């Protein structure tokens, strides 16, 4: 994992659903001041620390550009009428949400309908971002080797192991060596950043809240509210200042992009299915401009009783008039898919919604977040939690913060000044010092597929198979760790022995389940998360290999050893792409 001190820099990549950023710091700078992290600035209509997660491939399927540059380039291609065979991908990070199987064949669909391997899209994005960081690092040190930079990539804590393994593989394809790469869980990175921030930048609340939040015995919930997912982690601070998880990480797809999707549904209902279909097929530039205008209007809306104003591109107005033989200004209301009727006004190419109607687009996501938090706080382990820390881009939504304050008046709500960048900064700090997190909760019950000698009355007859004059029960779930189990970082949780089934290679198939005690890997809810392999010319069929598994880090790690051959190796879960 590159934990040694041979590196000179830690470089972090936050590949988000809607926006991405990169940052780094030298080991010397970290020693002097941990929060002294360099963030790359990106130049769009304004200068920001993040760029849109948008990637463009040319007509030959080769990488062309990323971020603001990709948006501008694609706009020019559309204006020139030559964009037909170019592929633009957006929001592709959400393709990995809730993926519980091997992702080898996963494909993504571009704006023009063309498909491309998800691995190619992710690896090209990571490669571009690593190149941007490397250029900046080389301004400080003119010559660097692969061993001089330790890379950290952030991933949602609620992602499955196959999704995390997918990102590791994509990073390796982008040129990052596996031993110099580690994953940081996004809400944990935010917690690390907040713990190191100067006091005046931490608080939203009364003076003294922050001392209480990070004092031994206290507990807090981090809500990482991003564009795609809401990622929630709860920590209790231990005597030495490190933390342990009170619950396994949780959350859902309730992020800020859901608000945009609901507003876009309004336009589909207003314009009509045929008009919207024609616009998406023939007037992509107008659709892109409308989506940008929706994002701008959403971000500018506050808790004050102001209306939401969305500018409609002229091409959309013309297409509506062509199809409906009437001006869009004649439409005053629309029936939404949830059964409600919403009223609006239209004037000078702008659609205006009253404040209450505007708020309604935010409500489903905000209600889901609050309901989830309420369920957590009502559980016995959540009784002592008195602080909610809000981070991520969606944490800047005044409606969300106001609702959190209203729904949980007994909680201290902290929103750091740098809420949107806290994950990225925290990832750099994590790369230098990952030991803030001492104990985690397992998100699943994990176990290995195995077989044992068949026992009548104990094993399922349908699982019986004969092999080498012996009768075995196959597909058994050999449990290594149980869902919700508290596991200590850096320790191997289990130590079991398995028979070698093939000459020269031992393969351990790993499964997961929400069930605390599955019997077979074929039980309902069980799914395969990957395989662990060890190769040695001295392995013999029916010999045994010792398997130690660790679920405490951000990725599953294993130590496999074979007593007879003396072979031993530590490896990551492999999902065989």
SS (H, E, C) 301-370: CCCCCCCEEEECCHHHHHHHHHHHCCCHHHCCEEECCCCCEEEEEEECCEEEECHHHHHHCCHHHHHHHH
Q: What is the CATH number of the domain that holds 36?
A: 3.30.420.40
DSSP code string of 494-532: EEEEEE--BTTEEEEEEEEESSSS-SBTTSTT-EEEEEE
Lowest mean pLDDT among 160-169, 252-261, 317-326, 545-554: 545-554
| 559 found inside a domain | yes
| 229 found inside a domain | no
* CA dist list (Å): 90 to 68, 307, 381, 412, 508: 12, 28, 39, 36, 36
Q: Which residue has the tokens 């010999």?
A: 543
38 plus 166 within the same structural domain: yes
28 plus 171 within the same structural domain: yes
263 plus 166 within the same structural domain: no
73 plus 169 within the same structural domain: yes
Asked whether the predicted pLDDT for residue 535 surpasses 90, the reply is no
192-225 per-position pLDDT tens digit: 998 887 644 444 444 445 556 788 899 999 999 9
| 217 found inside a domain | no
429-479 per-position pLDDT tens digit: 999 998 888 889 988 999 989 889 999 999 999 999 998 889 999 999 999
| 156 found inside a domain | yes
Asked whether the predicted pLDDT for residue 185 surpasses 90, the reply is yes
| 414 found inside a domain | no
Average pLDDT over residues 218-233: 94
Of 561 and 138, more confident = 138
15 plus 163 within the same structural domain: yes
| 44 found inside a domain | yes
41 plus 182 within the same structural domain: yes
| 234 found inside a domain | no
Residue 160: CA count within 13 A, CB half-sphere = 26
Res 504: pLDDT: 44
What one-character DSSP code corresponds to residue 463? Answer: G
> Which of 161, 186, 211 represents a domain boundary (last residue)?
186
284 plus 179 within the same structural domain: no
pTM as predicted? 0.87
- Cα–Cα dist 227/149, whole Å: 29
Q: Where are the alpha helices (DSSP H) in 347-490?
A: 355-360, 363-378, 398-407, 422-432
How many domains are there within the chain?
A: 3
167 plus 268 within the same structural domain: no
Which range of residues forms the domain containing residue 472?
442-572
Res 188: pLDDT: 92
> Which of 186, 211, 246 represents a domain boundary (last residue)?
186
Residue 403: CA count within 13 A, CB half-sphere = 21
Q: What is the CATH number of the domain that holds 490?
A: 2.60.34.10
286 plus 149 within the same structural domain: no
| 332 found inside a domain | yes
137 plus 265 within the same structural domain: no
> Which of 330, 360, 390 represents a domain boundary (last residue)?
360
Q: Which residue has the tokens 């701008």?
A: 296
- Cα–Cα dist 147/144, whole Å: 8
- Cα–Cα dist 417/389, whole Å: 12
19 plus 155 within the same structural domain: yes
179 plus 263 within the same structural domain: no
295-314 per-position pLDDT tens digit: 989 888 876 778 899 999 99
């Amino acid at each position: 994992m590159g934990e040694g001190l041979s590196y000179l820099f830690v470089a972090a990549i936050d590949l988000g659903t809607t926006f991405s950023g990169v940052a780094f710091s030298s080991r010397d700078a970290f020693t002097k001041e941990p929060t002294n992290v360099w963030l790359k600035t990106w130049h769009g209509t304004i200068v920001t620390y993040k760029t849109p997660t948008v990637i463009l491939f040319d007509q030959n399927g080769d990488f062309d550009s990323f971020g603001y540059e990709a948006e501008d380039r694609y706009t020019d291609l559309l204006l020139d009428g030559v964009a037909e065979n170019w592929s633009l991908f957006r929001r592709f990070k959400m393709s990995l949400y809730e993926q519980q199987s091997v992702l080898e064949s996963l494909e993504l669909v571009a704006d023009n309908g063309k498909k491309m391997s998800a691995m190619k899209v992710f690896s090209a994005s990571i490669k571009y971002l690593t190149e941007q960081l490397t250029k900046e690092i080389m301004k400080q040190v003119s010559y660097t080797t692969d061993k001089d930079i330790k890379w950290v990539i952030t991933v949602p804590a609620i992602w499955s192991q196959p999704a995390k393994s997918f990102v590791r593989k994509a990073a390796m394809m982008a040129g990052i060596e596996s031993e110099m790469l580690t994953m940081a869980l996004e809400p944990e990175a935010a917690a690390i950043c907040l713990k190191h921030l100067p006091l005046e930048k931490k608080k939203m609340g009364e003076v003294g809240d922050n001392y209480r939040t990070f004092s031994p015995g206290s507990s807090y919930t981090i809500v990482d509210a991003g564009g795609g997912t809401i990622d929630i982690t709860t920590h209790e601070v231990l005597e030495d200042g490190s933390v342990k998880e009170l619950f396994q990480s949780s959350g859902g797809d309730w992020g800020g992009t859901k608000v945009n999707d609901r507003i876009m549904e309004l336009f589909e209902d207003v314009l009509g299915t045929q008009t919207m279909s024609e616009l998406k097929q023939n007037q992509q530039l107008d659709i892109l401009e409308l989506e940008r205008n929706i994002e701008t209007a959403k971000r500018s809306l506050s808790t004050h009783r102001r209306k939401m104003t969305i500018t409609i591109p002229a091409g959309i107005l013309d297409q509506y008039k062509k199809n409906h033989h009437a001006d869009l200004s004649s439409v005053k209301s629309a029936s939404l898919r949830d059964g409600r009727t919403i009223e609006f006004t239209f004037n000078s190419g702008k659609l205006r919604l009253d404040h209450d109607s505007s708020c309604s687009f935010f409500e489903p996501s905000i209600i889901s977040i609050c309901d989830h938090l309420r369920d957590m706080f009502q559980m016995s382990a959540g009784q002592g939690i008195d602080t909610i820390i809000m981070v991520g881009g969606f944490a800047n939504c005044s409606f969300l913060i106001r609702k959190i304050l209203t729904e949980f008046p007994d909680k201290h709500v902290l929103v750091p000044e740098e809420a949107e960048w806290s994950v990225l900064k925290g990832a750099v700090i994590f790369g230098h010092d990952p030991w803030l997190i001492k104990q985690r909760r397992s998100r699943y019950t994990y176990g290995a597929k195995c077989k044992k000698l068949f026992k009548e009355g104990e094993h399922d007859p349908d699982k019986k198979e004969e092999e080498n004059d012996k009768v075995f029960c196959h597909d058994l779930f050999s449990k290594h760790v149980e869902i919700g189990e508290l596991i200590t970082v850096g320790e191997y949780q289990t130590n079991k022995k398995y028979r070698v089934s093939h000459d020269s290679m031992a393969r351990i198939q790993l499964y997961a389940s929400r069930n605390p005690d599955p019997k077979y890997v074929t039980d309902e809810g069980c799914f395969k998360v990957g395989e662990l392999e060890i190769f040695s010319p001295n392995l013999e069929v029916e010999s045994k290999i010792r398997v130690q598994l660790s679920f405490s880090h951000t990725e599953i790690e294993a130590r496999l050893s074979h007593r007879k051959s003396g072979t031993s190796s530590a490896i990551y879960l492999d999902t065989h792409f």
